[in-house]
Amino acid sequence: MIIPEYGRKLDEKEWAPCIDMLLAGEHIVLTTHVNSDGDGLGSEVALAEVLRTLGKKVSIINPTEVPTNYTFLQEIADINVFDEQGEELIEEISLADMVVLLDANLRERMGSIWNHVSFARELGKLEVLCIDHHLDPEDFADLMVCETYASSTGELVYDLVTAIEACVGKELITPGVAKGLYVAVMTDTGSFRFPKTTPYVYTLAGDLVAKGADPNEIYDQVYNSLKPQALRLLGAALTEIRLIDGDTVSWLFISQKMLSETGSKLFDTDLVIKYLLSVRSVRIAVLMVEMQDGRTKVSLRSRGDIFVNRIAKKYGGGGHKNAAGCLLRYAPEKATQMILAEVRGFLKNLEIVNKK
């Protein structure tokens, strides 16, 4: 098994510019990508609690709502959802002196929040810090810590927080911080089994458990909080999964009709994707979901050295080697045809390259 940059870790010196920036900030807004996940949300609440301990005024403002299985994180810090009509949060952004984007490295991943951040920035005093672990970062922040060796943004935030602890001489990992970071690392490593689950990840997870994260309780909160409608969606979706090309490609299309008939929401579709890779011969899995505005959300998963982020990038998206996505402005039928042709072509090319 080859793990890229296996065992790498930023040291205190490398974290210094980031720490200086955070310590200088007084009013800090934290945010994450649209359709937030455990990594973004867990990292946010953990960093919020750390910054509050350091005497900062902190608010979390996200572009989209918190999935129900993560609402328990609100016990650690309030998570606000941005609404273009809500004066309060717009004002909050304009008054901040720093915005920290977690778990994303593209401006557009902030949704409409970016417009307001960009406006406040032009007025002069707002700085943007980005902490992330995805491939292909866009150069837009004042400081960008984008390290793809990391299993999760939570791993980076853990390292950042321990570096701040060393810097200020104060323990900062409270049970709330430990819980948030454990959620982040657990979810982004697929419960400690994805390729970037290095020995170090287990070490830091152990430290978080020692400092108050309860693995049993957290797993139960995150993975056993399904609404009945999500289970209905799973049932309907499983019967629609198709396997093609000698069972090397699996794909599924979820329509708005399927969502409304089962009463489920967009984020419930996350549940389905692992089944697309559950057949061992599958090399690339494609999940397409029809959005309310008629566009098609494409999620790609792969096994081994198949860089599906390259496919996603071609259509304006991005992500990781084995998990990536993009949004197509085409209606389902055309989107399905296009992506499946792309995926088949991609695999065929790989075979040709491997044979050479």
Find, among 155, 151, 148, 145, the residue nearest to 133 by Cα: 148
Cα 274 from Cα 270, distance rounded (Å): 8
Cα 354 from Cα 35, distance rounded (Å): 36
Of 39 and 49, the one with the shorter C-beta distance to Mn ion is 39
Question: Residue 145 carries which DSSP code?
Answer: E
Tokens 């996505």 correspond to 325
CB of 108 to Mn ion, least distance (A): 17
Of 188 and 268, the one with the shorter C-beta distance to Mn ion is 188
CB of 280 to Mn ion, least distance (A): 26
DSSP string, 9-54: ---HHHHHHHHHHHHH-SEEEEEE-SS--HHHHHHHHHHHHHHHHT
CB of 273 to Mn ion, least distance (A): 15
Of 37 and 49, the one with the shorter C-beta distance to Mn ion is 37
Question: Residue 66 carries which DSSP code?
Answer: P
Footprint (CB under 5 A) of Mn ion, residues 92-151: 103
Member of 39, 44, 159, 342 binding Mn ion (CB under 5 A):
39
CB of 36 to Mn ion, least distance (A): 10
E strand or H helix at 317, and its extent?
none
CB of 37 to Mn ion, least distance (A): 7
Cα 328 from Cα 286, distance rounded (Å): 13
CB of 256 to Mn ion, least distance (A): 27
> What are the backbone dihedrals phi and psi of residue 287, each rounded to the nearest 5 degrees, phi first?
-115, 125
Footprint (CB under 5 A) of Mn ion, residues 267-326: none
Q: Which stretch binds Mn ion (CB under 5 A): 6-14, 181-189, 241-249, 303-311?
A: 181-189
CB of 83 to Mn ion, least distance (A): 25
Size of the site for Mn ion (CB under 5 A): 4
DSSP string, 191-242: TTTSTT--HHHHHHHHHHHHTT--HHHHHHHHHS---HHHHHHHHHHHTT-E
Q: Which stretch binds Mn ion (CB under 5 A): 117-125, 152-160, 204-212, 269-277?
A: 152-160
Cβ–Cβ < 8 Å for 337, 324: no
Could you tell me the maximum CA-CA distance found in the chain, to the nearest angstrom? 60
Q: Which residue is nearest to Mn ion (CB)?
A: 39
Of 133 and 283, the one with the shorter C-beta distance to Mn ion is 133
Q: Which stretch binds Mn ion (CB under 5 A): 86-94, 158-166, 182-190, 265-273?
A: 182-190
Of 99 and 184, the one with the shorter C-beta distance to Mn ion is 184
CB of 137 to Mn ion, least distance (A): 13
Of 89 and 186, the one with the shorter C-beta distance to Mn ion is 186
Member of 44, 188, 290, 342 binding Mn ion (CB under 5 A):
188
Contact footprint for Mn ion (CB under 5 A): 39, 103, 153, 188
